[in-house]
Amino acid sequence: SLKQRGEKRQDGEKLLRPAESVYRLDFIQQQKLQFDRWDVVLDKPGKVTITGTSQNWTPDLTNLMTRQLLDPAAIFWRKEDSDAMDWNEADAL
């Protein structure tokens, strides 16, 4: 969409590779929403990175930054030769 709008990437932003996808969940109406648990299943080898972004309006920074990339909340993966899924230890409950 950056190319479509003729915009340049901001620091930390990257273009998606062919095998990557972005899914958007809009919580504008539900500001106190929290995730207590992730249920992630990988049927085949691959990697899932769950990252949050914030587009909160801030009058003093709006001209400088419209999107703030947050640290990945969780990373899950499954290797080619494995039937089990792995994840970062910090993401396990």
Domain ranges of the chain: 45-87
- Per-residue pLDDT tens for 20-79? 777 666 666 666 666 666 677 888 888 888 776 665 555 565 555 555 556 666 788 899
The sign of the torsion formed by the CA atoms of 58, 61, 63, 65 equals negative
> Is residue 83 scored above 70 in pLDDT?
yes
Residues in CB range of 89: below 8 A, 6 or more apart:
none
pLDDT surpasses 80 at 7: no
- d(C-alpha 59, C-alpha 84), whole Å: 47
- For the cut 60, the answer to whether the pLDDT of residue 91 exceeds it is no
* Residue-level pLDDT at 60: 60
Mean pLDDT of 84-93: 70
